[in-house]
Structures are given as structure tokens and as C-alpha cells.
Amino acid sequence: MAIQLRIHVPPHPLIKHWLGVVRDAQTPTTLFRSAMTELGRWLTYEAIRDWLPSIETTVQTPLAECPATFINPQVPVAVVPILRAGLALLEGAQPLLPLASIYHLGIVRNEETLEPSCYLNKLPEQFDPETRVLITEPMLATGGTIMAAMTELIKRGVNPAFVRIISVVAAPPALQQLGTHYPSLVIYTAIIDEGLNSKGFIVPGLGDAGDRTFGT
């Protein structure tokens, strides 16, 4: 049976609410940033339910012994925010994954060619092959940025089957590239939009996520 990219759009009213806020061109920077943080929180909550490794044991309550399930601290967990815009999603993701290591990746698209270039890479030389990796990247547009990020991770021993991406707006060109190259990937996004305009912006999208997050 062929493996196929799984794209989840969680039908959660909080995710829909905060998506509406970030889409609105009238939303000021401070509210935009906190809405992105909320999206990071709820998308992470959804994305990690069958991904975060746990261990079965028992505990003694005041009355009796009973089964208990805990997060397995032996399995490494990493969060990779794609700067700049992925930083606001990280704010929401990090409190849910307090044991995770955070490895920043700064990637920017050239505004004319749309080619990505990496200006900051804090990834370790090698990952433990068991590492669970959560990428926070709000915009999956042409796919250039996320494909560049995946190349850096795979080079360092990450198993794509253990990678989850949280995104706010995803567009077909990025999803097609990811599906072709990494069919075992799992993506959680607030919405899938129709496509891109001639400047590589997602339509209807939410504009430039980095500029709107940081007021630039």
C-alpha cells in the first residue's frame, strides 16, 4: 500500500476563530501575534496526540494501585521554528512541549525569484533517528522554504515519518511538493487555500506573515 501525505484541517472552533482574526487585514500587530500564538497552541495540541511517545506504568493512588500513562522522557523531541513567522507559532507550541529542544532555522524568500535562502541554522550536526520533530511554519506557499527546511533535517538523520508540520495557511504547490518527496509526512493546518497570486502570495491567505507578526 502506497504511503500518502496526510493533511489534517482540525474542525475546531478556536482554530477557526483565530484564523479569522489573522486573515482580517484590520487586525493590529499585537492581536495578530497573539492570534498566531493561539493557533500554535491548538494546532500543536491536535498534532501531537498520536505522535508524542508515552510509557505505560502504574501509580499508587491514596486508595489503590492503578495504570498510568506518562510522556516518555527518553525519546528526544525537537521543535524547529522557521523564522521569522514561525516564532509566533512557537510561543503557543512550547508550553505544550516543555522538554523539547528548540532549533531555530532562519529562511527568507527572495521577493522576485521566490527562491529561499538560509541565513540562520541552529540545527545539531546529527539528530537521534528516534527524534520527533515539530516544524512551525505558518505559510506553505510555493513550498520552497519548507522543502529547504526538510532537506536540512533529512541531511542530519531525521526520519520524515516522525516529522509533523503545523501551518496556518497551506497552498496546493507546497502540499504537492511535500507529498511527492515526503509521503510519510503529516501536516496540521488551519486551512488550505486555493492558490498563489503572481507574486507568490497565498490567496486569500493573510498577507506577509512575518511582517504582520513583527510590525515591519
Ligand X SMILES: O=P(O)(O)OC[C@H]1O[C@H](OP(=O)(O)OP(=O)(O)O)[C@H](O)[C@@H]1O
Residues that bind ligand URA (CB under 6 A): 85, 139, 141, 200-202, 205, 208-210
Considering the complex, state which of residue 76 and residue 210 has its C-beta at the smaller distance from ligand X. Answer: 210
CB of 190 to ligand URA, least distance (A): 14
CB of 91 to ligand X, least distance (A): 15
205 binds, among ligand URA, Mg ion, ligand X, none (CB under 5 to 8 A by kind): ligand URA
Q: Which of residues 133-192 bind ligand X (CB under 6 A)?
A: 137-146, 174
Amino acid identity of residue 52, one-letter, is L
Beta bridge partners of 108: 117
Query: Residue 210, interface with Mg ion (CB under 5 A)?
Result: yes
CB of 210 to Mg ion, least distance (A): 3
92 binds, among ligand URA, ligand X, Mg ion, none (CB under 5 to 8 A by kind): none
Selected from 85, 168, 185, 186, the binder of ligand X by CB under 6 A is 85
Angle at 191 between CA 190 and CA 195, to 5 degrees: 145
What are the start-end ranges of the H helices in the chain?
A: 13-23, 29-47, 86-93, 144-155, 172-181, 209-214
CB of 114 to ligand X, least distance (A): 6
Give Cβ neighbours of residue 194 (< 8 Å, ≥ 6 apart): 171, 172, 203, 204
Considering the complex, state which of residue 102 and residue 108 has its C-beta at the smaller distance from ligand X. Answer: 108
For residue 59, how far is the Cα from the chain centroid? Answer: 34
The single-letter DSSP state of residue 95 is: G
| Nearest in space to 118 (alpha carbons), one of 167, 165, 89, 153 | 153
89 binds, among ligand URA, Mg ion, ligand X, none (CB under 5 to 8 A by kind): none
Give per-residue burial for 6-40: e unless 16+ CB within 10 Å, then b. Answer: ebeeeeeeebeebbebbbeeebeeeebbbbbbbbb
Query: Residue 19, interface with ligand X (CB under 6 A)?
Result: no
* Residue numbers at the binding site for ligand X (CB under 6 A): 82-85, 108-109, 114, 116, 137-146, 174, 200, 208-211
